[in-house]
A and B are shown apart, each in its own frame.
Chain A
Amino acid sequence: MALINKNAANIFATVVSNKRVGQYHQLIVNIGEQANFCKPGNFVAISVGGENSRMVLRRAFAISRVSTSTTVGGTMELIVAPHGQGSRWLCSAQEGAELDVIVPLGSGFGIPTEPVHVVLVGGGYGSAPLFGLAEVLNARGCRVDMLLGASTASKIYAPMEGKRAVNSLRIYTEDGSMGQAGRVTDPISEMISQSDIAVIYSCGPMAMLSAIDSLTRGTDVVHQCAVEESMACGIGICMTCVLPVATEDGSIKMLRSCIDGPVMDGSHVQWDKVGKAL
C-alpha cells in the first residue's frame, strides 16, 4: 500500500513574485527547507480564498521547479491557469502574501540511472513540471527531446530559460498559430521507431496521456505520466481522485492519484476504464 509522501508538511509560505506569462501566472513561493524534499512530479495543495472562504477544499498544483539556493531561501515555482474560482484567487495573490501550503505531495518521476534518450511531452500548462524534470535528466547526461502542444499559441507554456536543459524542442498547436499545426502526439510513433528512446515522460490532459499510452504499447519504451483527476484533499483521505490501475497481483484497483500518483506507469493505468465503474 502506497503511503503519503513522508516529507509532506503543512506550512505557511510567502509569495515571492507573481508574474503573468501568456495565459498563465508564474508564482514563486518561498517554501524554505521544504524545497529540499521536492522532486519533479510532486505537487502541492494550497488553501484558497482566505480565512472566510466558502471554498472548503485545497487546490492541487504541480510544482514546476524548485530552487534551494535563492537569496530568500528555498522556493518553488507554480504555473497556474486562472480558470476557476480558486486558481483565480491564487493568481491574484500579491507579492508578500502568505499561503497555506502542504508540500511536497505525491510521487515523483523516476529518473533513469543511465544516461538514456528520453522524450518529454507536455500539453498546455501541463508542460510546467517538465522543465524542472528536464534539468534533472540533463544533469544525469540524458538526451532530452521535448514536445509541447496546445490548442493555440497562447496556451503553450515554454519559458526561455527552460529550454536550456533540452536538446530539442518542438511545438505543436491545433490551430497552427505556433510551431507545427497538429497534435503533440503526431511525431511520437516515428520517434520511437527511428531512435532508441527509453522513457517518455508526459504531463497534460488525460486524453493526451491515454494517446501516448497507445503509441508506446507493444514497444520497449517506458511511459511515465503525471495524471490528473479532481482531488478534494490531496493527502489520501477522501478517495475521490482514484484511477483504475493494474496492480502487481494482476487485479485492477482504484488507486488514489494523490498517493499512488500523480506519476504513474502509463501501461498500468486502465485508460479505457477511467470514469467507469469497475
Chain B
Amino acid sequence: MTQLDFSTTLGNAWFPTPTFTASGCASSGRELAQFFDLATIGGVVTKSVMSKARSGRPTPRMAETPSGMLNSIGLQGPGIDEFLAKDVPYLTEQKARIIVSIAGETVEEYAMLARKLRSVSGISAIEVNISCPNVENRGLVFACDPEASRRVIDGVRRTIGGELPIIAKLSPDVTDLVSIARGVVDAGADALALINTVLGMVINLETLRPHLGGKTGGLSGPAIRPIAVRAVYQVHAAMPQVPILGMGGISTGRDALEMIAAGASGVSIGTASFGNPFAIVKVQDELKQLLVAKGFTSLREAIGFAHRPESE
C-alpha cells in the first residue's frame, strides 16, 4: 500500500489525522472513550464551554427529522473552571489532542474565557463558537452579524496573543457567509469551522405546537450535508489560504472526502456519533482508503481539489 501522509494543520496546530469530534456531539470525550482510544483520532473538539455552569433549555430537546435531527440543548455545561479542573486533565491523560470550544453572551465573556485558556497546557487550538442557534435572543448569534463576529474574534485574539490557533465557528444561516468569514479572518481567526447547525422547527401534531422546549432547534445530520459542502466551497474559493474544519452531516469516508475536496483541511463528525459511537473511526479509516484508492499520497493534495480547473 502506498504511504499516505494523512496529517493536517489548522493554523500552527498539527494533527496526525484530519478527523475530529464535533463540538457538542462528544461531551468531553469520556463516553466515546468506552468505544475507542481518543488518541487515535485527529482530536476532540469539546462541547462549547461558557464562563459559568449553565443548565440549558427545557426538554424536549430533541426531535428526529428525515436524515437528521433537531437539537435544542442551549449550551448546558459545567462552566470553564470545572471544565479546566476535570475535563482537560482527563483528555490530556488520554493523550487526546484537544480543541477547546468556547461560547459567550458578550464580547467580554469570550475574552475572559480566552484568558483562562491562555496558560493551560495540552490544548491544540481554541474554537470560538459564535454561532450556537440555541440562545433566547437571535440577536446574540454573533455569527449572523459581521461586526459582532469581528469584535468577538478580535477580543479573543488580543487576549490570547499569537500562540494558540483560533478557529471561528460560523453559522450557515446568513446571506453572505464569505463576508462574515473574511471579517473574522481579518480580526485574527487562523481557521474556520463550517458549519454550525441550521435553525429549524418541528411542530408536534398531537399538541399542534412547536415540539421542542426551546421551540426552535439546530438541524444536523446528513440532511444538511449539501449546505455544509456549499459553505465550505464558497469560503475556500474566496480565501483558499484559510484552513477550514468542515462539518455537517458527515457519516462516511466519502462524505469526508467530499468536504475535503470542497476545501476543508479537516472534518468533524457530530450527529453520526449519536447513531454510531465508532463513526469517527469509521470515517477516518474509510477516508484514508479512499485517498489511497484515488492515488493521493497526501491529504493536502486533496484539499480544495474541486476548485482546480477541469484540465488538471
Asked if residues B275 and A4 are in contact (CB atoms below 8 Å), the reply is no
A237 touching B278 by the CB < 8 A rule? no
Known: A102-B277, A275-B59. A56 touches B30 (CB 8 A): no
B34–A6 touching, CB < 8 Å:
yes
Cβ contacts under 8 Å, A154 to chain B = none
The size of the chain B interface, using a CB distance under 8 A, is: 39
B71 close to A240 (CB less than 8 A): yes
Q: Is B245 an interface residue (CB 8 A)?
A: no
A93 at interface by CB-CB < 8 Å: no
Interface residues on A, range: 35 or more
- A94 located at the interface, meaning its Cβ lies under 8 Å from any Cβ of chain B in the complex: no
Residues A10 and B274 in contact, CB atoms below 8 Å apart: no
Selected contact of A239 from candidates B27, B273, B277, CB within 8 Å: B27
Q: Report how far A254 CA is from B73 CA in the complex, Å.
A: 11
A232–B66 contact, CB under 8 A? no
- Distance in angstroms from B50 CB to nearest chain A CB is 14
Give B270 Cβ to nearest chain A Cβ, in Å. Answer: 10
Known contacts A56-B222, A56-B275, A102-B277: A259-B31 contact under CB 8 Å: yes
Q: Least Cβ distance of B226 to chain A in Å?
A: 15
Q: Nearest CB to that of A274 among chain B residues?
A: B59
Residues of A within 8 A of B213 (CB): 275, 277
Check B31 against A278 for contact (C-beta < 8 Å).
no
In this complex, what residue of B is CB-closest to A277?
B58
Interfacial chain B residues near A47, Cβ < 8 Å: 275-276
* CA gap between A185 and B207 in the complex, in Å: 26
Q: Shortest beta-carbon distance, A2 to chain B, in Å? A: 10
State whether A232 touches B62 (Cβ < 8 A).
yes
Contact A56 B69 (CB under 8 A): yes
Give bound CA distance, A233 to B21, whole Å. 15
**A233 proximity list for chain B (CB < 8 A):** 273-275
Over the window 13-57 of chain B, the binary record of Cβ atoms lying under 8 Å from chain A Cβ atoms (1 yes, 0 no) is 000000000001111001110110000000000010000000111
Task: Give residues 1-35 of A contacting B (CB, 8 Å).
Answer: 1, 3-4, 6, 8, 10
Interface SS of B by simple majority: loop
Q: Is the CB of B61 within 8 A of A4?
A: no
Q: Could you mark each residue 43-64 of chain A with 1 if its beta carbon is under 8 Å from any beta carbon of chain B, else 0?
A: 0000100000011111000000
A254 to B53 Cα, complex, angstroms: 11
Q: Which of A57, A252, A253 contacts B275 (CB 8 A)?
A: A57
A4 touches B34 (CB 8 A): yes
Is B272 in the interface zone, CB < 8 Å from A? yes
* Chain A 251-275 interface residues, beta-carbon cutoff 8 Å to B: 252-254, 259, 274-275
Answer whether A1 and B76 are a contact pair too, CB < 8 Å, given A10-B277, A10-B278.
no
Whole-angstrom distance between the Cβ of B283 and the nearest chain A Cβ:
14
- For residue B221, CB closer than 8 A to chain A, the reply is yes
Partner pick for B27 among A8, A237, A254, CB 8 A cutoff: A237
Kindly list chain B residues whose C-beta atoms are within 8 Å of the C-beta of A277.
55-58, 213
Asked if B69 contacts A232 (CB within 8 A), the reply is yes
Q: Does A231 contact B (CB under 8 A)?
A: yes
Indicate whether B68 reaches chain A with its CB closer than 8 angstroms. yes
Other-chain residue from B26, B56, B251, B272 in contact with A254 (beta carbon distance below 8 A): B56
Tell me which residues across on chain A come within 8 A of B71, comparing CB atoms: 232, 238, 240
Whose C-beta in chain A lies nearest to the C-beta of B249? A56
Q: Which residues of B contact A232 (CB under 8 A)?
A: 62, 64, 69, 71, 274
Which residues from chain B sit less than 8 Å from chain A, CB to CB? 24-27, 30-32, 34-35, 47, 55-62, 64, 66-69, 71, 73, 76, 86, 213, 221-222, 251, 271-278
8 further interface pairs, Cβ-Cβ under 8 Å (given A3-B30, A58-B274, A238-B73)? A8-B34, A57-B274, A230-B59, A233-B275, A240-B60, A254-B76, A275-B58, A277-B58
Residues of A within 8 A of B (CB): 1, 3-4, 6, 8, 10, 47, 54-58, 100, 102, 229-233, 235-244, 252-254, 259, 274-278
- 9 pairs across A/B with beta carbons < 8 Å? A4-B31, A56-B67, A56-B271, A57-B275, A232-B62, A236-B27, A237-B26, A241-B61, A254-B56
Which 4 A-B residue pairs are closest in the complex by CB-CB distance? A240-B62, A233-B274, A278-B55, A236-B31
